[in-house]
Amino acid sequence: MFQSANSQSVTSSDNENGVLCYCHRPAKIVRAWTRRNPGRRFYSCIGRRGANGWVACKFFDWFDKEEPHGWQHVALLEAEQTIKEQKAEIEGLKNKVRTQTRHSENFGNSNALVDILKERKETKFLKGKC
């Protein structure tokens, strides 16, 4: 059945079927990404703010009644892995861009300093000639 430790709610959407959770509120539709149920959707409590923080009633029911199977199951697992690898690559590239931007800014600051020092030297040189 559902393994919350291994799932990620990648998408959630409005419940157009009128399914209510135990709180009598419209349940949201969430997508599971467990090894057993990749991409399978289920209903879950949207929760509510309570006196001690966020409260949910633990409501759970499958939206997709059939378990993923066959080639679709394998394809979803492979797609999930590809997405994880691409996200990691994007994060690495973002870090490289941040580093390059910092180096570029530092280089620009050092060039500005060199320009100021050159200007001072030229000013001193010109004062000495006059």
Question: What average pLDDT does the structure give for the chain?
Answer: 79
Instruction: For residue range 70-109, list pLDDT tens digits in order.
Output: 888 888 888 888 998 999 999 999 999 998 888 777 766 6
Q: What does the block give as tokens for 106? A: 């530092």
Judge whether 75 lies within some domain: no
> pTM to 2 decimals?
0.51
Instruction: For residue range 48-72, list pLDDT tens digits in order.
Output: 877 788 788 989 999 988 887 888 8
Domain that holds residue 23: 1-68
Number of domains in the chain: 1
Buried b (16+ CB within 10 A) or exposed e, 90-119: eeeeeeeeeeeeeeeeeeeeeeeeeeeeee
Judge whether 100 lies within some domain: no
Residue listed under structure tokens 């590239």: 93
**Backbone phi and psi for residue 62, each to the nearest 5 degrees, phi listed first:** -70, 135
Judge whether 104 lies within some domain: no
**Backbone phi and psi for residue 42, each to the nearest 5 degrees, phi listed first:** -145, 160
Which helix (H) or strand (E) is 44 found in, with range?
A: strand 38-44
Q: What does the block give as tokens for 15? A: 């419940």
Judge whether 126 lies within some domain: no
Q: Are 50 and 25 in contact (CB under 8 A)?
A: no
Supply angle C-alpha 14, 19, 23, rounded to 5: 100
Helix and strand numbers (H, E) in the chain are: 1, 6
Judge whether 11 lies within some domain: yes
**Three-class SS of residue 120?**
helix
